[in-house]
Amino acid sequence: MSYKMPQWDDAASAIHNAQTILVVSHISPDGDAIGSLLGMTTTLKALGKTVVGAIDDEIPNYLAFVPQSDTIVQTVNDEFDLMISVDASDEERTGNVGDYGRAHSKTVINLDHHPTNTGFGDIHLVVPTAVSACEIVFDLINHMGLDMSEDTAYVLLVGMVTDTLGFRVDSTTARTLAVAQALMEKNAPLPQVIGRTLNSKDYENVKLWKAVYPSVQLDDQVIYGTITLKDVESAGLDKVYDGGLVSHLITVNQARVSVVFKEQLNNQVEISFRSKKGYDVGSLAFSLGGGGHTQASGCTVNGTLDEVKARVLPMAHQVVTEG
């Protein structure tokens, strides 16, 4: 976790000096990953650069409405002057396209807002106080004095809305709202963005919650639930993108930490953590090989559901004790 103070001028020079630019973000992309990636690609294309935006995984259906999301590719095979990694706290999170980009780019910019960022890359724009990577892209565009198109404003607002859960998380400040206001002044439609992200779900997700709710338990200020592969299949889903359950569980008054265990293939379990203000689940996820924010984090660990729960729940209780 050693990253430099934001290097705005170095980032601006690297962008000006580059003609071919690869922009990557994290696997299992969320609204901020896609918003910050497209915020960069749309801006760089308007500057006349040759730009590729790439993420290993498909864009989840619920984010297909995002303008220009169909321009994101899943494989890359060119040479680049510059790679920009957005919203990814470590190199592994950028997947195969990130590996490829590091080997085929002269310079790497690491633009991120996770306090667990490992400090990879040549030029750092790591701002842990930013509520979303999109906010840092917004600041970079302004720092460089570039125009912001309507599409750019729209995609950046998607990341701001989704990472702040509609400006409800503790990290939201007056500055967050000022950035959102500036994006709205560029015609980004806040109610529509909220309507298509936070206020939108398929019935399959309700079926999944019906299956999962019986597993939910509150145990000494830690609330947790388990999503099995069978639950996912019986709900008619092939993949779960829903971080909604863990965020929902942390709203329980008696809970300080919420945990959702998601069974994966290959004897792995994906874990999502959320916490109330003053309790640090970011360091917990980092110690398990993942990362995230103080109050929202995640990781994937090896083992069966029972093994992983037996190992991780005492660690979640430790966060409550130390908080």
**Closer residue to Mn ion (CB): 3 or 209:** 3
Rounded CA gap, 175 and 97, in Å?
33
**Residue of 20, 82, 27 lying closest to 54 (CA atoms):** 27
Rounded to 5 degrees, what angle do the CA atoms 130, 131, 134 make?
Answer: 80
Per-position x/- string for 9-38, each x denoting binding to Mn ion as judged by CB under 5 A, each - no binding: -----------------------x------
Which residues inside 265-304 make contact with ligand 5GP, applying CB under 6 A? Answer: 272, 290-293, 296-300
Least separation in angstroms between residue 87's CB and ligand 5GP is 7
Least separation in angstroms between residue 267's CB and Mn ion is 28
> If contact means CB under 5 to 8 A according to the sort of partner, which of ligand 5GP, Mn ion, none does residue 292 touch?
ligand 5GP
Tell me the one-letter amino acid at 235. Answer: A
Rounded CA gap, 180 and 218, in Å?
36
> Is there binding between residue 93 and ligand 5GP (CB under 6 A)?
yes
Least separation in angstroms between residue 149's CB and ligand 5GP is 26
Least separation in angstroms between residue 25's CB and ligand 5GP is 10
Q: Are 173 and 192 in contact (CB under 8 A)?
A: no
Rounded CA gap, 10 and 124, in Å?
9
> Is there binding between residue 163 and Mn ion (CB under 5 A)?
yes
Spatial neighbors of 20 by CB under 8 A, at least 6 apart, are 49, 50, 51, 78, 79, 80, 81, 82
> If contact means CB under 5 to 8 A according to the sort of partner, which of ligand 5GP, Mn ion, none does residue 225 touch?
none
> If contact means CB under 5 to 8 A according to the sort of partner, which of Mn ion, ligand 5GP, none does residue 296 touch?
ligand 5GP
> If contact means CB under 5 to 8 A according to the sort of partner, which of ligand 5GP, Mn ion, none does residue 272 touch?
ligand 5GP
Give me the DSSP letters along 157-189. HHHHHHHTTTTTSTT--HHHHHHHHHHHHTT--
Per-residue CA distances from 127 to 88, 131, 167, 296 (Å):
12, 9, 18, 16
Rounded CA gap, 133 and 247, in Å?
19
Least separation in angstroms between residue 288's CB and ligand 5GP is 9
From 56, 90, 151, 280, residue interacting with ligand 5GP (rule: CB under 6 A): 90
Least separation in angstroms between residue 294's CB and ligand 5GP is 11
From 87, 90, 231, 280, residue interacting with Mn ion (rule: CB under 5 A): 87
At residue 304, what are phi and psi to the nearest 5 degrees? -80, 165
Rounded CA gap, 68 and 41, in Å?
9
> Is there binding between residue 101 and ligand 5GP (CB under 6 A)?
no
Residues at the site binding Mn ion, with contacts judged by CB under 5 A: 32, 87, 133, 163
Binding site for ligand 5GP (CB under 6 A): 89-90, 93, 243, 246, 272, 290-293, 296-300
